[in-house]
Structure 1
Amino acid sequence: MEALFATVTGFLAASGLYLALRGRTFPVVVGLTLLSYAVNLFLFSTGGLTTNGAAVMQDGVTHYADPLPQALVLTAIVIGFAMTAFSVILAMRVRGDQGSDQVNDQRAEESKEEKS
């Protein structure tokens, strides 16, 4: 189970990094989202993969899940959603202003050369 979990986390991180380094804005946004999913899985795995464990500590229960990584992941999900929404809005704004969704757009460099 741990090997599968680590493999999926690594695959998400590698895919997210690959997409984040692309030249267009939509793959960059998807790459950042995949990277945030990989970080969430990593944070969740820091508490250990517990099966059939109580979610809350109770009297007489000795086998329980660690609640701290779960709280961190819940917070990271909210922050990741806000970051994704901001990235999409920023990408739409840049596309509207420049007329292109290329990250390294030649038009911006050409306009700087024409002004000087």
Structure 2
Amino acid sequence: MELLLILIIGLLHAGGLYMLLRRSMFKMIIGLILLGNGVNLLIFLLGRLTKGHPPVIDGNAKIFSEIYADPLPQALILTAIVIGFGLQSFAIILIKRVYQVLGTDDLDELNSTDEEI
């Protein structure tokens, strides 16, 4: 299971970096989404996968007898998903506005200073 997640994380990072290096701003956003999902899976994997054990520990227990799920990585991932969604929605609206004004989403054409807006 963990080896499969490692391969998926590697593919998401490789695909995200490849899409970030493209000239289109739309493909750049897709790359950011892929990288964000890869990082979320990486944090989830580093938090140790445990199946079937909730992160709730009995109040009367003096020592931890069973392996339990760590709630901190889950909270970090939830926060990262919310922040990533806000960033992605802002970037999509920004790209839509740039495309409406300039008529292109090619980064090489947007980088030139030959024409005034």
Q: TM-score range by the shorter chain?
A: 0.7 to 0.9
2:21 corresponding residue in structure 1:
21
1:12 corresponding residue in structure 2:
12
Distance in structure 2 (CA, Å) of the matches to 1:37 and 1:58: 33
**How far does the alpha carbon of each residue in 1:22-44 deviate from its partner, in whole angstroms, 9 at most, with x for none?**
10111111110010000100111
Q: What's the secondary structure of 1:110's corresponding residue?
A: coil
Distance in structure 2 (CA, Å) of the matches to 1:107 and 1:14: 26
**How far does the alpha carbon of each residue in 1:50-73 deviate from its partner, in whole angstroms, 9 at most, with x for none?**
112223223556221000000000
> Number of matched residues?
112
Q: Report the more deviating stretch, 22-31 or 58-67.
A: 58-67
- Give TM-score, length-normalised by structure 2: 0.87
Greater relative contact order (Cα < 8 A, sep 6+): 2
1:86 corresponding residue in structure 2:
90
Which structure's residues are more often helix, by fraction?
1
Distance verdict in 2 for CA 1:106–1:2, change over 3 Å: closer
Gaps of 5+ in 1: none
Q: Report the more deviating stretch, 101-110 or 26-35.
A: 101-110
